Chain A
């Protein structure tokens, strides 16, 4: 009785590529010591993209407003820090809870519609929060952002230094832990059912799945993770402005995920790396050019590059495997 699954892994174990990936990241202290701050940003974006992958890649919910939860997490942690509560881990938890709660409350509107309705509702939620944050500029600091954030040392011992070492280690560990949890979930019956609900919701209903309730659950989890990413952002940069709620943020995370490959777990991280690094090195350009070429790139991906970077790797490795097999088949 075989349960071998084509093109998907069922395993709970770590194949060597994954271990190598994380070890590489851990070696960052030595590999890119001068760029730890940038690397932290990559990890944070990757975590945000991972949360987005859960709802888009796995559950098939089209959202254009995921930055709402990212922003809520950022402001929860940020506001705590400006009000003398600089302990990082509790700030992280606060971010997760705030964002998760908001995700839960808004999920009822999001899960019940079709694609267009979901796009509309999620954009509206993002815009709504942006507006709110803008109005309450006396609390949020408006476009200028929060000032006076002071972070206490992590675990009482590691101060957030100017080289970004503590920040990098912090981001790396948090991302890794969350990643492990999501990985577990994705390979579980619940994770599998998400894909079923994405591909054929009517069939799932006919199999007894309370589809809406499960989607509410995954949406809440996703929002909480986005909140963690936002909190990390606030804590490591010691700055939050209402831009975290902007539509660009939501659109950017969609691009990151698509570039890396949706529905394959590591796609968000890979895409976040590509996007963040590209933005960092090209940001000297006129922002109008950036937007134009980003749009063109997006169209190119959708026309030619389905599955993003990881999808391309998959196709290449399959092609190589086939090439290796073919000579043996010849008489």
Chain B
């Protein structure tokens, strides 16, 4: 009993960590630029497909495909930010939704055209598949890897935001963009870098998540609710909020599907309702 409980907890945390990685960019974009980017999942998908392509066509090893996914997704994010998104920071949320839904449709269609509608497998290396026995509990090696990568990235992100000058600039820009600009902080550049990083991390998450979440052309829409949930419940002004929300969501989803398979898929909806009623402004918010 305990073993399965630990196993579920472990799986749920890994899953939640993955959701966090993909959603953190959405949270940053919303908190920093007040930009609703429903196409965020598409950057995750881009990372996933590029990773798969690299491994299948160019024989890039798995551990090298991951940073590749990060870089390509970040570059794509940079490109879109400069060409398109920055014109929309002052436009209504409706316009942003229309833009990003349009982009999502185009991305899905392009992915279907290029890769076909079936799920892509990334192909895990030997040393990451299979189980690992810890204290009598069989833990999936890949999930452990996910957790490890997630923890490292989260710590890195937190350190950047809290200890570096760039992080301070980000925090200042979130608080009050005009004053920040007046203080000499190049808010536009800060946004660009933050956005690109968010997309890069999402791309990495997409590549990492291909095994766990499944990578197919409808990925951006399939998981859109999850990403929105993480940001709506976790709030858009901190890193910790979406992290806790994502972990909670991950554990609840996995636990629900394991213990009550009949209604397991609906657990997250119930959770969403409860959380919204209790905390309409999100789990962790600044007053």
Interface residues of A (CB under 8 A from B): 56, 62, 64, 109, 112-113, 115-117, 119-121, 123-124, 127-128, 131-132, 247, 251, 254, 258, 262, 288-289, 291-292, 294-299, 301-303
Give chain B nearest CB distance to A118 CB in angstroms: 9
**Complex contact B109–A116 (CB within 8 A):** no
**Complex contact B97–A62 (CB within 8 A):** yes
Interface centre among B95, B225, B229, B232 (most CB of A within 10 A): B225
Residues in A neighbouring B277, C-beta threshold 8 A: 109
**Complex contact A121–B276 (CB within 8 A):** yes
Give A56's nearest chain B residue, CB to CB.
B94
> Which of under 10, 10 to 19, 20 to 34, or 35 or more describes the interface residues of B?
35 or more
**Complex contact B221–A247 (CB within 8 A):** yes
CB < 8 Å neighbour of B225 from A113, A115, A120, A296: A120
**Complex contact B269–A124 (CB within 8 A):** yes
Give chain B nearest CB distance to A133 CB in angstroms: 13
Which secondary structure dominates where chain B touches chain A?
A: helix
**Complex contact A128–B266 (CB within 8 A):** yes
**Complex contact B228–A116 (CB within 8 A):** yes
Give chain B nearest CB distance to A213 CB in angstroms: 16
Alpha-carbon separation in the docked complex, A294 to B104 (Å): 11
Residues in B neighbouring A251, C-beta threshold 8 A: 101, 105
Give chain A nearest CB distance to B125 CB in angstroms: 33
Residues in B neighbouring A116, C-beta threshold 8 A: 30, 36, 93, 228, 231-232, 236
Give chain A nearest CB distance to B82 CB in angstroms: 15
Alpha-carbon separation in the docked complex, A182 to B179 (Å): 46
CB < 8 Å neighbour of B232 from A120, A127, A258: A120
Supposing A62-B93, A109-B276, A123-B225 touch, asked if A294 and B105 sit within 8 A by C-beta, the answer is yes
**Complex contact B105–A123 (CB within 8 A):** no
Residues in B neighbouring A298, C-beta threshold 8 A: 98-99, 101-102, 105
**Complex contact B109–A124 (CB within 8 A):** no
Supposing A119-B36, A123-B228, A292-B110 touch, asked if A299 and B102 sit within 8 A by C-beta, the answer is yes
From 241 to 287 in chain B, residues with beta carbon under 8 angstroms from any chain A beta carbon are 265-266, 269, 272-273, 276-277, 280
Give chain B nearest CB distance to A145 CB in angstroms: 21
Query: Can you list 11 A-B pairs, Cβ within 8 angstroms, ordered by A?
Result: A115-B93, A116-B36, A120-B225, A120-B228, A123-B225, A127-B269, A131-B266, A288-B112, A291-B109, A292-B105, A296-B106
